[in-house]
Structures are given as C-alpha cells and as structure tokens.
Chains A and B, each alone.
Chain A
Amino acid sequence: MPEEKNNKNLVPVIDGVFTLPPEEVRLIGVKCPECGVVSFPKSIYQHKPGCKSITADEILLQKKGFLRSYTIQYYQPPPTFKCPEPFEPYALGSVELGDGIEIAGIITGCKLEQIKIGMPLETTLYKLYEDNDKDIVTYAFCPI
C-alpha cells in the first residue's frame, strides 16, 4: 500500500504498535537497557531472568528483513479480526527484522505463489477496512 496516501485518514487498528506516515512505517517495540531483550508489541514485554530493570525503552524495529517462514490462511479468522470483504486467502509470515528478532504479520504486495522463504521484505501498512471516511490499517510486510 503506497505510503503517500492521504495520511489524515489512516487510523491504526491498535495504537502504539507501529508508526504512520509521514514518518517511515516501522514497528514500535521496547528494549531493556540492562538485559537487552527486544519485545514486540510493547505490552507483551520480556526480560531475561535475573534482570533488575523493571522498565524498557521504546525503540523502532528495523524496517527491512527476511522471510523465515510463512503460511497461507484459507479460512477467515473470527472477529475481532476484520479484513477486506469478500474474504480471500492471505499470507502470514514470520519475518526476521535484524537483532535476531522475528515478527509475525501479514505478507502483502505479491501473489501467494511468489512467496519464498528468504525473500527480502519491508514493513508497510495494510488496509483492513473502512470506517466512515477513515482507513483502519495494520502493519504488514511487502517485497522490497
């Protein structure tokens, strides 16, 4: 999905998970300054056992990475997931975004048959549905 779209109408499906245009679209995680663990999303945070720090610093994950695994989901997931209608099978992937972290998310921007493990991908937005004049978006990964 082009990032030059009218940004005023883009609403994230959940706040605080990814940045929006006019900034570069990137995922928001947290990193512990003491034990170094990177967590995504922010709320599902981890520390290493024995770490004394109770907080972690907000960071932006790398924009680009590689596909480490994927699946194609042929049946529509139940609500609260809302997606473009009528439902079409779509791809989910596990994408390595540097620092040894893999993130799960929608793969978009290519035909399902073109998806290959190891392919380079970058973080982008994906429109789930419209709400009046707003586009409700999530993050996704697309071929570079």
Chain B
Amino acid sequence: MEDVVILGVGMHPWGKLENKSWVEMGTESVRAALKDANIEWKDLNSVACGVYPWGGKSGLFAGQQLASAMGRTGIPIVNIYNACATATSAFRVGYLTVASGASDIVLCMGMDASPKGFLPPQSDDSQKDTDVYRWKLAGITNPAYWAMECRKRMLEFGTTEEDLARAKVAASINGALNPNARYRRRFTLEEVLNSPMVCDPLRLLEIGITSDGAASVVLCSSKTAKRYTTKPVIVAAATLGSSIYGDPTMALSSMSTLSKNNAEAPLLSESYSACHQAYEQAGIGPKDLDLVELPDNSSWHYLQYMETMDLCGPGEAEGLLADNETAIDGKIPICPSGGVSSFGEAVGAQGLAQVCEVVWQLRGQAGARSVKNAKVGMTQTYGLAGNSASTILKV
C-alpha cells in the first residue's frame, strides 16, 4: 500500500446561491484545489466525485458533468453516494485509489445545492422506496428523529435546554471567524433559546439548515508529493462504517428499533464503527487528537458524537461544553470551522469541507480560528441508512 497525502484543497464558500449552478460551484472548488496543489487538471489520473442527489439523472453523473466542464481526458471517474457521508466516502475511494497504486494523483470532490426546509422524500412509491414509509405514515422529518433521541438523552443525563443552546453558541464563535461559513456571527444563548421550536426540544438555531457548497481535495502518493510540496498533510486513516445489528438508535428513515435494554451495539453504531476503525488504522487514540470536525446536524449530535467518537465518557459532553473545553483553545476543539451549525449542510460536499478545515488547521492557515500546535485532526460525517465515514490527518 502506498502512503497517501493531501496535495491541495479548495472550497467554494457555503451559502444559498440562487444564481449559480452546482457544476459552477464544483468547478470553482476544483480550480482552487488544483491551484493549492500546484497542478493542472490534466495531471489528474482519477476522479472520485460525490453524487448530486437533487439533480435527477444528471446528478448521478456529477463527476462526468464536472469533467466535461474542466475538459474530458478519459480518466476513470466514479460517482459515490452515501447520503450525508457522501463526500467523506468519496475521499475514501480516492484514498484507496492512490493507496492501491492504481492512480497516482486523484481528485475527490463534492458539490451540492440542497433544497430549502426539511429534506423531502424523493418518491411516492413505498414499494420501491422504503424511505416513503416514514413520510406517508407519520410525516417523520429528520429533525423529528433527532429530537426523539435528544429527549432520551435528556432523560438519561439531565441535558438541559441551555446545554443544547450552548452547542450553537460555541459553534458560532468559530463560524464568525471563517470566511467560508454561511453564518459568520456569534449567537447569544438568549437568541438561541428564543428561536422557534421546530421539533421539541430542538429549536431552529439548534438544527443545521441546508446549504449550497462545494469542496475539492487532491490526493497523491507520498513519493509523488515530493515533486510538488515539502509540507504534505498525511492521511493516517480513511474509513467507512455501517450500522451494527442491535443499535438502539431510531435511525433516519426507520420506524422501529430495539429499546435500550435490548441493545447489543452502541448508539449511532455506523459512526462508532467508522471512528474506531480510524483510530486503529492511524494507530492513535482520541487523546492524541488536536481538533475534531464532527457532523453537528443538531445540538444533540454535537453532544452525542463527542461520546460516540470516544472524546469523552457517557454524560460528560455537556460539562465539557459548559466549561468551554470544546472551544478553539480548549482541551478538545470541536468544529473549529464553525461546523454544520455555521455552514449549513450541503449533503454531497460536507465531508470534504471538514477535510479542508483540518488541512488548513494543520498547515497553520486557519487564521483567527487556528488551534495552536495542531498536528493531528479527525473528521467524521454520517448519513441516512447507516453510513459513516471518517478521516484522521496529521503533519
């Protein structure tokens, strides 16, 4: 297996862009990554591209659309879809392509322009599309699932409304320092607590909105990287996980689960799996991390993922957050980019935005939100149907 490094990264700022197509956003992020890597489009040997899920047939061929815009060169292009873990999964495909020796310089990219409001079902036919059940039978939106898990957590650990609001406040402090974030101001505890309730106990400002965005990463072998840079970022791990039988999570799109007493696997088992594989692959533990980009789709996720990813023990996340230990200068910086909270989620691109952030942090290029002496960072995204993907990067 070849050692794999990141040669360059690039991002189109996140936002809600009425006048730009997803392909335009994508090509902008590609050009930014190529420039950062000091290479040309023609130098790429392979492309791993996240599917654009709202683009009908053409969205399934997002990579080919991009190649068409950049100039068709006949190289292998694979399109990947793993819901919100799409972009990190594309990263893993790119990583394996280089690690195996199949291709030397690979582009991983994702772009998205997500619909506003609740992410809707994509068909009407429950026979063909089992996601339709939860819609037709009960109208269970994604935040409703998260709210029900959140309420279970409140019952078990005494999580308060203030704890939930604090996650938003903490993320917004970082987002305010990030020119690529969609929301670039600090929110106060009062503002968050006064925002409308969406799915009790989760309020509007405690749930990640949907966004448009694009991000690209260029990977290559450590050998080849020497031609282009003296400071590559090393990919210590790139993993994928799926759900484990016995997980008590009422997962997105499902209508049943095992009750906690009968659980045989951890909550959010797909993420547990991806992250523990990552620690094993990198040969490190959570204590070795200098920063973590986790998928804070809601305040519940912010707290729960700290435990699922073994950053703290059960019930400890609330206290760490309240003591500012998840701040940029805290014991374990969480989402120094500002997270989904400040970006909104661009489903097909989010995971690569996380990778961009960790790369900038490790290179000391994160400006005012730089984590001091950052040497090792971790990313993780999870998606509907039991997908999770994780990376550990180091210098």
Answer yes or no: are A and B bound together in one complex: yes
Task: Give A contacts to B, CB under 8 Å.
Answer: 13-14, 17, 29, 37-41, 43-44, 46, 48-49, 68-81, 83, 92-94, 96, 100-106, 117, 138-140
The residues of B that contact A40 with a CB separation of less than 8 Å are 255-256
With both beta carbons as reference points, the residue of chain B lying nearest to A47 in the complex is identified as B245
In contact, A78 and B254 (Cβ under 8 angstroms): no
Chain A residues near B133: list those with CB within 8 A.
14, 17, 41, 43-44
Q: Does B160 contact A (CB under 8 A)?
A: no
- Complexed CA–CA distance, A70 and B199 (Å): 9
- Kindly supply a per-residue 1/0 record for chain B positions 179-213, scoring 1 wherever the CB is within 8 Å of any chain A CB and 0 otherwise: 00000000000000000111111100000000000
With contacts A75-B117, A94-B257, A138-B136 known, what are 14 further pairs, Cβ within 8 A? Answer: A43-B133, A49-B245, A73-B144, A73-B198, A74-B198, A80-B121, A80-B124, A92-B138, A94-B148, A94-B152, A100-B262, A101-B257, A103-B256, A138-B138
B218–chain A nearest beta-carbon distance, Å: 38
Measured in the bound complex, the distance between the Cα atoms of B201 and A39 in whole Å is: 28
- Whether the Cβ atoms of A74 and B199 lie closer than 8 Å is yes
A-B contact pairs, 19 of them (CB 8 A): A40-B256, A41-B133, A41-B255, A44-B133, A69-B151, A70-B151, A71-B144, A71-B148, A72-B200, A75-B118, A77-B140, A81-B136, A81-B139, A94-B152, A100-B261, A101-B258, A104-B140, A105-B138, A140-B138
Q: Give the docked Cα–Cα distance between A85 and B120 (Å).
A: 19
B368 in the interface (beta carbon within 8 A): no
A78 → chain B closest CB, angstroms: 4
The answer to whether the Cβ of B137 comes within 8 Å of any Cβ in the partner chain is yes
Chain B residues closer than 8 Å to A105, beta-carbon distance? 137-138, 255
Contact status B137-A102, CB under 8 Å? no
Q: With a CB–CB cut-off of 8 A, which chain A residues contact B197?
A: 72, 74
CB closest residue in chain A, given B124: A80
Tell whether B132 is near chain A: CB-to-CB under 8 Å.
yes
Asked if residues B134 and A80 are in contact (CB atoms below 8 Å), the reply is no
Interface residues in chain B, defined as those with a beta carbon under 8 Å from any beta carbon in chain A: 117-118, 120-121, 124, 126-127, 130, 132-141, 144-145, 147-149, 151-152, 155, 196-202, 245, 250, 254-259, 261-262
B335 to chain A, nearest CB (A): 24
Contact of A48 among B148, B245, B250 (CB under 8 A): B245
User: B196 touching A69 by the CB < 8 A rule?
Assistant: no
- Does A102 contact B152, Cβ atoms closer than 8 Å? no
A71: contacting residue among B137, B199, B256, B259, CB under 8 A: B199
